[in-house]
Amino acid sequence: MRQFLKFSVVGASGFIVNFFVFTLLQRFDPHHAEPLHYDGLYTIGFFAGGVSNYYLNRIWTFRSTGHVLREGAQFLGVSSIAWAVGLGISYLFAPLLGHGHKLWLVATAAGIFVNFFLNKYWTFRHTQ
């Protein structure tokens, strides 16, 4: 439970990074409401938050001393799965929510539990 709470705090910081990058890019992209542009902005924001999440989870949540490149690759793999889940949710809910912040919020929230459990039991399993 303690790790999940720490993971949630780190996730909240990554959520903020993701939101900031998504919003900043959206402000400078006049075509952001189009699905292709939304997907690109969502992807860049998602992985920007993921980089900060990896670093903070490695040093604080799981206190890992494992191989940084192997863990980084695994974390990226897990993030890719969570990203795909988020995009899938985006496609399902876009007709209802549009391609803005509401859809971004639903899509981002969709991958949280998948992200935690895959990282806990695969990426950082040696820290148990």
Distance of CA 80 to the CA centre of its chain: 8
- pLDDT exceeds cutoff 70 at 128: no
| pLDDT class of 29 with cuts at 50, 70, 90 | confident
pTM (two decimals): 0.72
pLDDT at residue 34, rounded to an integer: 65
The domains of the chain are located at: 2-127
Does residue 33 register a pLDDT over 70?
A: no
Residue of 46, 49, 45, 15 whose CA lies nearest to 27: 45
H and E: helices and strands count for the chain: 5, 0
Q: What percent of the chain has pLDDT over 70?
A: 95
The tens digit of pLDDT for each residue in 57-68 reads 999 999 999 999
Least confident of 11-25, 26-40, 86-100: 26-40
